[in-house]
Chain A
Amino acid sequence: MSQPAGHLEELREIVAEVLELEPEEVADGGDFVEEYEADSLRAIEILARIEKRYKVEIPQSELNEMRNLKAVYDVVARYAGWGE
C-alpha cells in the first residue's frame, strides 16, 4: 500500500491533468473553482478518474465537498479506507 503522501501526490497529478495545470501548480488548499477555473464537468471527471484509479465508488453528492486537493484526499481516503 502506498503512503498517504504517495496518494496525495497521485491525486495531485489527476487533478492537475483535468484542470490543465502542472502538478506543482496545484496547492493542497487551492480552491478548484476560485483559483483554477474548474467547473462541474471537470469536477465530475476528476471524480471519475479517481474512481477508476482506486476502484472505489464515490457518490456525486460528495462533489460539493471536494473543493480542493486536501478535501479530495479526505473524501477518497474515507471511501477507499486509506485511514484504516
Chain B
Amino acid sequence: MTGVPITGCGVLTAAGEGPAALAAPAVAAAGAPAVRVDVTGLYEDLPRPTASAIAGFDVRATLGRKGTSFFDRATALAIVACGHAVRDAGLDLETADPARIGLVLGTTTGSLGSTMDYSRETLVQDRPYLVNPVLFPNTVMNCASGQAAIWYGFKGVNATVAGGPLAFLQSLRYAMNALDRGFADTILVGAVEEFTPQAAWAAELAGARPAGEAAAVFVLDRHARADGPALGEVLAVTTGFSPTGGPSVTETLTGCVRRALARANVSADEVGAMATGDLPGETAESDAVTTVLGRQVAHLGVGDALGDCRAATQAVALARVLAEHRCGDAPDGGLTVITGRGADGAVTAALVRGWRDAGTHRG
C-alpha cells in the first residue's frame, strides 16, 4: 500500500538545526552522552546549570521583532520549525490555497512556563486581575498552533494534541485522518516542547530525565505526485490503551505494531529498523517490536542525547529516521517501526518508509 508522503521536515534540537544533526555520531551513536549547553544565561532559577536546550535560539533574530516579542519559547520554536518544514518541502505559500493547509501540533501542557507565570501574576500583583492581556493567549495549549497558523496563513484544520510522550504519533494519526476525510490537502504535523525553569524543575522533582527542548514539524501532502520528491511516507499509525486489569502494556504495544503492519499490508521481514521510546537500559518497547518482527533490527533512537523532549520525542525520532535515509546508511525505501508508551498505559506505533534521495528512486 502507498502511504501519505512526507515532503518536508523542519527540526530544532539541542543537537542543532536540521535533521542531519540528528544522524551525527555525537547524537546517534548508542550510548552517546547528553548534548548539554550552559543555560544559566537563559534563566536564573534552574535545578542544573546545563541542559539539552536549543542554544542561542533567538526568535527576534530569526523572525524579526514585529509580532514576536510576546511569544513564549514553545510558540516561537513551533513557528520556526514550521518555516523550515515549508521550505524543505518547497511548499509555495503564495500559490497554495490556505484553506487547504492544516496544522497539527503535539504538546504535554502547552507552555507550562507561560501558564504558571500568568497564574503567578494573579497572586503577586496588587490586584489579581492586573495581568497582561497580550500574554493571555499564551496560556491556552493551542497557542503555538494558533500563532503558527496566523504567521503562515494556514486556514485549514488546526489541532493541538496533548499527548505527552505520545503526542507526535497521536498528532500524526489525527493528521492522517483529517487528510483522509478531506479536511485538508496538506498538513504540517509536528510537536514542540520548550525548556523553561518550570519544565526543568518539574522533570527534576518528578524524578524524570532532565528536560530537553525540541521542535520538529513535517509536511504531509496527500496529493504529492507518486514520482515527486518526498523524504518518506507514513504507512500506518496505531494506538491502544492498557487499563488496569486489562491486557498488559506489552501486549497492547505488540498489538499496535501488528495492526500497523497489517494495515500497510507489509510483512514483518520487510521492516529494517525501529525507533522506540526505550531509554538506555530499557527494552520494553524494543522487545515488543522484536516479538512481532521475529528478529532483531537496527535501533535508531536518539537515546539520552537530547534530554527528555516529552511531546517532541517521537517527532525527533521520525526526523532521525528520515535523516538516516537521507544522509546516513539506511537503505532507500527501508521501513521503520516507531513506538512510544505513556505513563498511564497508552501506547502508539507507526510504520514509516524513508527515501534516500527525495524520492527519485521509487520501488
A-to-B contact residues, CB < 8 Å: 18, 20-21, 37, 40-42, 44-45, 48, 52
Contact = CB atoms under 8 A, between A and B. Distances in A.
Interface stretch (B126-134, B172-180, B354-362): B126-134
Most buried by A among B66, B68, B130, B134: B134
A18 B66 contact: no
A42 B65 contact: no
Interface residues of B, number: 11
Main secondary structure of the interface of B (DSSP, over half): loop
A42 B68 CA distance: 13
A52 B126 CA distance: 10
15 contacts: A18-B134, A20-B68, A20-B69, A37-B67, A40-B133, A41-B133, A41-B134, A41-B136, A41-B137, A42-B133, A44-B133, A45-B132, A45-B133, A48-B132, A48-B133
* SS class, residues of chain A in contact with chain B: helix
A20 B66 contact: yes
Contacts of A42: 133-134
A20 B133 contact: no
Nearest to A40: B133
A21 B68 CA distance: 11
A45 B68 contact: no
Contacts of A20: 65-69
Contacts of B134: 18, 41-42, 45
A45 to B, nearest CB: 5
A52 B132 CA distance: 12
- Taking each of B67, B68, B133, B136, which has the highest tally of chain A beta carbons within 10 Å of its own beta carbon? B133
A37 B346 CA distance: 44
Nearest to A49: B132
